[in-house]
Amino acid sequence: MLARLLAIPLVILVFIFLYLAWTQGGQWAIYLAPPLILLAVIYVFSPQLNWWYYLRRPPKLDRRLQQLLLKRSSYYQNLSVADKKKFRKRMSLYMEAHDFQAMGDMDTIPADALGVLAHAVAELTFGQEDFLLDKFEKIILYFHPFPSPQYPKHLHTSELYAEDGVLLFSVPHLIRGFMEPTRYFSLAHYEYAKALHILYPDWRWPILGESSWEKLERISGFSKDAIQRFINLPDIDPLAVAVHHLFQFTPAFRLHWPEMYERLAALLGQEAYLKEVE
C-alpha cells in the first residue's frame, strides 16, 4: 500500500524525463537515474514499508467477520473493549501479512475462511507478543480434501509441512470447526497449535502420550479415532489436540483436567483471558 503510493510520483517523473529526452535531447536522460534508483529501493523494501504503514493504520476488519466474532467466538465476546480492538487488529494484520493461495477447484478464497484462520491465530497467540508465526507464511486452501507429496494416498483435510513453512486446509472442514465447534474439530486451532510447538521448542511444553486420550475425549466428546477420521492422516498430535481443547472446550477442560488446564494456560499466557470464558 505505502510502497505503491510512494512509487506513483516516481513513475510519473520517469515518464516525464523519458518524454523530455525523446523530444528535447538526450541530456534529459541523466535525470532518469534518481527516480529509477528510488523505485528500485522501494521495490526491495516494499514489504517493510507496507508493514510499517499497516502497523500504524491497520485495515479495518470486515464488518461480516466482526459479526461472526460477536455471534460465534466466546473468547472474543469476553474480552474488554480495548482487547476486542486489539484482537480485530491482529486478525486484520495477520491476513495482510501472509500468503494465501487457492488451489484445486477454488478460484477465490472466501473471506470467511481467512477470518477463521486469523481468528484461531489471534486466540492462540493473544497472550504473546508474536502473533504472526512468520515461519509459516504460506497457507494453501482447497475446497475439498486433498492429497499432498507427503501423503499422496490420503485425501486429508489439513496438514502442516514444517520444512517449507506451509499450512494446508480444506475450506469446508475448516469453517465447520468454527461454526459448530461442539460437532466438528477445529482444524485451524489444531494446526496452529502444532506450529507454535515447532516455533517455540524451548517452552516447557507438557509431554502427552496415549494415556492422555481418555481425558481429552472426556473434555470434548471427540475420540482419537473421530479426530483421525476427520483429518484423515495416520498421526494425530495429542498435545496439539489438548491446546485445541483448551480454547474450544475451556470450561470442560478446567473441570476435567484442571492441572493441565493451568499448565497450558500459563504456558500460553492465557490465564487472564480464558478464565472469563464460559
CA 139-150-172 angle, 5° bins: 45
What's the structural domain count of the chain? Answer: 2
pTM attached to this predicted model: 0.84
Which of these ranges, 25-29, 127-131, 168-172, has the smallest mean pLDDT?
A: 25-29
* CB contact set of 153 (below 8 Å; sequence gap of 6+): 147
Residues 220, 262: one domain? yes
pLDDT attached to residue 46: 65
pLDDT at position 269, please?
Answer: 96
Name the one residue in this structure whose C-alpha cell is 473468547: 75
Mean pLDDT of 194-211: 96
Confidence label for 276 from pLDDT (cuts 50, 70 and 90):
confident
pLDDT score of 2 more than 70: no
Full domain range(s) for residue 62 = 58-274
User: Are both 220 and 140 inside the same structural domain?
Assistant: yes
Q: Which residues pair with 142 in a beta bridge?
A: 170
CATH number at residue 230: 3.40.390
| pLDDT, position 10 | 67
Within this chain, do residues 123 and 254 fall inside the same structural domain, yes or no? yes
- pLDDT of amino acid 25: 72
Clarify whether residues 163 and 229 are in a common domain.
yes
- On the question of pLDDT at 50 being above 60, the answer is no
Pull the grid cell for residue 171. 475450506
Is 123 or 57 the better-scoring residue by pLDDT? 123
